[in-house]
Copies of this chain bind each other. A is one copy, B any other.
Amino acid sequence: MSVIAELSIFPMDKGDSVSPYVKRALNVLKSSGLMFQLNPMGTVIEGDWDSVMAAVSDCYKALEADCDRIYMTLKIDARKGREYGMLSKVAAVE
């Protein structure tokens, strides 16, 4: 199954400017080898379930080190028989 996920993650105990922590998570995704696409409300990732969830866990653990409270949302659209879903989903509605 092609799994497309959108991850938003940030600390709740670091004040209202959280970009350094979002950047830390983004760097984890950059080194995950997965296709990803940043947008103002999260980062979309594509891969198989286990690879995507491993990357999500790595992002969480990168913040867990020095954050006392973390908020995360994950939206997933998993579909059989889909390839390059990030591109095809957008093309289908534009």
- A residues at B contact (CB < 8 Å): 1, 4-6, 8, 10, 12-13, 15-16, 18-19, 22-23, 26, 37-42, 44, 46, 49-50, 53, 56-57, 60-61, 64, 68-81, 85-86, 89-90, 92-94
Query: Could you tell me the dominant secondary structure of chain A's interface residues?
Result: mixed
CB contacts (< 8 Å) of A8 on chain B: these are: 75
Distance between Cα atoms of A81 and B66 in the complex (Å): 13
Within the complex, what minimum Cβ distance (angstroms) separates A30 from chain B? Answer: 10
Give chain B residues whose Cβ lies under 8 Å from the Cβ of A39: 6, 37, 39, 44, 90
- Verify B68–A76 contact, CB threshold 8 A: no
Closest 8 CB pairs of A and B: A13-B16, A6-B41, A16-B69, A19-B92, A72-B76, A74-B74, A40-B86, A40-B89
